[in-house]
Amino acid sequence: MPKVALVVDDSMLIRHTVCRFLEERGYAVESATNGKEAMEILKTVLPDLIITDMQMPKMDGTELITTLKASSTTANIPVVLLQGKKNHSDPDAETRANYVIYKDIDIVAQLGRALAVTLGREIVES
C-alpha cells in the first residue's frame, strides 16, 4: 500500500508542484486549499505526512498544526511547513513542524531532503 500525503496550500502552483513530486515517488496524495479543508479530509484519510503552507484563508498553518497536535489520532503525523522567504529572525517561527521548506528556494530539492529527514527514506531524484 502506498504512503499517503496531504498537501495543504492555497497556491495552485505550489500545490501542483508538491503533489506531482510526491506522486512521482509513489505517494497517494490528497490536497486542500486551506486548513479547514484539510481537517475535512482528515476525517476519512490518515496520511503518513502533511505538507502545509503557513498563510492560508479560513484556517492557517499554525491553527492547523494546533488542531493536529491536539488530537491523539493526528498528533504524531510528521508535518513539513511551506513558508515564504527564509528569515532567521522570525519571532513567530513555528517550532512544532518536523521540517521547513522555503518557497523562495528550489522547492523540489528541499522536498527530497524533507522526506529523507521526516520519514527516514532515501529519495531517488528524477
Which CATH number characterizes residue 16's domain? 3.40.50.2300
How many domains are contained in the chain?
1
Give me the domain span that covers residue 114. Answer: 4-119
Mean pLDDT over 21-50 rounds to: 94
| 47 found inside a domain | yes
pLDDT in tens, 86-100: 555 454 556 778 788
Note whether residue 125 is domain-resident: no
In a domain, 97, yes or no: yes
Map the chain to HEC letters. CCCEEEEECCCHHHHHHHHHHHHHCCCEEEEECCHHHHHHHCCCCCCCEEEEECCCCCCCHHHHHHHHHHCCCCCCCCEEEEECCCCCCCCCCCCCCCEEEECCCCHHHHHHHHHHHHHCCCCCCC
pTM of the model: 0.84
